[in-house]
Amino acid sequence: MAPPKRSPHCKEACNLRREGPRCRDPSMKTRRDFVKLVGAAGLASTSTAQLGPTTASPLTTPLPARTRERAVWSDLASRLASPVLTALAARRLKATMPVEGHPSSKDRPQYTHLEAIGRLLAGLAPWLELADDASPEAGQRSRWAALAREAIDAATDPASPDFLNFSQGAQPLVDASFLAQAMLRAPTALWAKLDARIKRNVVAAMVSSRPIKAFENNWKLFATTVEVFLHRVGEKRDDQRLFEGLRKHRDWYVGDGLYGDGPEFHADYYNSFVIQPMLVEALDVVGAESPEWSTLRDKSRERLTRYAAIQERSIAPDGTYPVIGRSIAYRCGAFQALAQAALRHLLPKDVTPPQARVALTGVIRRTLEAPGTFDDRGWLRIGLAGHQPGLGETYISTGSLYLCSVAFLPLGLSANDAFWSLPPAMTTWEKAWRGQDLPADKALKSPR
């Protein structure tokens, strides 16, 4: 099939992005279109660039507290998105992104760029998927979604200077899966709207990760997620890789809503970073294929609800939480499970949607508004509450940090959803320590 003819305007837009004469995106018809898109996206992040450690978003007219909360979330989401998406859409991510990492780790530049885009979009995908409701926020979402599609093109186009590593070393399996998860979460905004050429490149990139062996832990679900994505978009799947992750985690369940990270249990946040979200979402797709997987699908949702209860009870009124286990530099991403339960309306009966909103808002602001969290160009720095490079393990680098975005999953709920529309409510921590009577917590008593 012959390639479509390019107009001189399209060539100008391509030159602006330094990608050569390969641009075929009909939404980028002119150089002015691309400049407006990047400029508008940059403007969206500017509103948060000057935020102090505890200030809310700068709003010109008074709004109800819950409306301000959503504005804070969307502004912080835009602040995360801006440097990654504008650089990668312009095919300048490798040229401009700083790479902070452990002094002993010399290989992170091979992996950090795919980490940044995969992890960022995994969290923002439900927000980008929301329908246009003619609000100012909808315009903001539309701009980021368009840049995200340009970024996916740049990341998977072999001719791009920002063609990313999906196959060399072990790490690319992890972040191919986060990118796959993003496209599963936004099937229209991040997949259906891609042209056929980009879709072919994405599939080829995902398939190239297959030779990477998954370790005997949560990595099994990275292989599962890639295969679920390929299956969902009509490609031939590898059933061995897909179902091994499900079987392993079925067997690694340890009770009360928690899975081991491999044969042993780890006291960390990996049930939230990876295990529960990827397991539940994979079973959404293949759970109806057999009674075995249907049963596990139902159990995984019940366990997510229980784990969300544990997570909500772990958040103090000031947004702090226990600093336990590996990868604490993923910041508020530690509460993806609570965010996912809210997004899917699977919260426990004793945790109301506005209660979850208050808890998550506290965590997000505590971890992302601390002084030193971003560098002077807007990139995340290693830490939990500010810049704390000592908290970064050898596998942590700048791109890794964007897993914090998964705390923002409830932005995928409309502004009219109870999560956003109901007045603030006290968290369980507040109720208990203010002396309010409340029911005793109970373990989940379900069979393995």
423 three-state secondary structure? coil
Task: Please give the pLDDT value at position 52.
Answer: 34
Q: How far apart are CA 389 and CA 370, in angstroms?
A: 14
- What's the whole-number mean pLDDT along residues 401-422? 98
* Contact status, residue 86 vs residue 38, Cβ threshold 8 Å: yes
For the stretch 242-258, pLDDT in tens is 999 999 999 999 999 99
DSSP annotation string for 218-287: THHHHHHHHHHHHHHTTPPP-HHHHHHHHHHHHHTEEETTEE-SSSS--SSSHIIIIIHHHHHHHHHHHG
CA-nearest of 62, 61, 59, 37 to 47 is 59
For the stretch 341-374, pLDDT in tens is 999 999 999 999 999 999 999 999 999 999 999 9
What is the architecture, at CATH level 2, of domain 29-47+65-433?
Alpha/alpha barrel (1.50)
For the stretch 92-151, pLDDT in tens is 999 999 999 999 998 999 999 999 999 999 999 999 999 999 999 999 999 999 999 999
Task: Please give the pLDDT value at position 445.
Answer: 87
Domain positions in the chain: 29-47+65-433
| Res. 32: pLDDT tops 50 | no
| Res. 55: pLDDT tops 90 | no
With cut-offs at 50, 70 and 90, classify the pLDDT of residue 67: confident
Task: Please give the pLDDT value at position 41.
Answer: 45
Greater confidence (95 vs 35) lies with: 95
Task: Please give the pLDDT value at position 20.
Answer: 36
| Res. 26: pLDDT tops 80 | no
Question: What global pTM score does this model have?
Answer: 0.87
Average pLDDT, the chain: 89
95 three-state secondary structure? helix
